Amino acid sequence: MNGSVHQQPLAPDPPQPRRSMVVCAVLGVAFMAAVDEIVFHQILGWHHFYDRSTSRVGLLSDGLLHTAEVLGLVAGFFLFADLRRRRALAADHAWAGFFLGLGGFQLFDGVVDHKLLRLHQIRYGVDVTPYDWGWNLAGVLLLVIGAVLAVRAARRARGATAS
């Protein structure tokens, strides 16, 4: 024996469609939060996560959003890697979950954060109606893509078990 440890490869687990979808939805939410934070908060400087106080509080709120997004990405990638390692990833369901997460974040941000809670607007000093329509319609489109992918994945999974 040369001192190296030999591990037997793991036997593949059965595909886990629900877990694949949930893990990738977490990744989708975190990814869209990163896009929002980087593009709209930092590069364009249109707003902070919380704009109803001082600039310092706005920067703090952006830091907390960024922390949550990074934690979501790290946790999501660890869970994704575990699914891949065990060969239990259901790829069709994973893509559906990713798009559902992207759209879910965007629509939640546009409706709840912008309109209901009024934490911030997309922009200030301009008519935000076109921005709201664009942001929310893009979120709905991403959700529709995710829903179509989820239905297609469920049909494929049912067809695979029926054969």
pLDDT score at 7: 62
The mean pLDDT value for 32-52 works out to 89
pLDDT at residue 1 tops 80: no
Longest dimension (CA), the chain: 73
The mean pLDDT value for 48-69 works out to 89
pLDDT score at 122: 80
pLDDT score at 159: 81
pLDDT score at 163: 58
Q: Over the chain, what is the mean pLDDT?
A: 90
CA 12/CA 139 separation, integer angstroms: 35
Phi, then psi, of 14 in degrees rounded to 5: -65, 150
Give tens-digit pLDDT for 104-147. 999 999 999 989 998 888 878 899 999 999 999 999 999 999 99
Answer yes or no: are the C-beta atoms of 23 and 72 closer than 8 Å: no
Answer yes or no: are the C-beta atoms of 118 and 49 closer than 8 Å: no
The mean pLDDT value for 50-72 works out to 90
pLDDT score at 3: 56
CA 51/CA 118 separation, integer angstroms: 9
Question: Cα angle vertex 101, ends 32, 74, to 5°?
Answer: 65
Answer yes or no: are the C-beta atoms of 30 and 76 closer than 8 Å: yes
CA 13/CA 26 separation, integer angstroms: 22
pLDDT at residue 54 tops 70: yes
User: Has this prediction a pTM greater than 0.85?
Assistant: yes
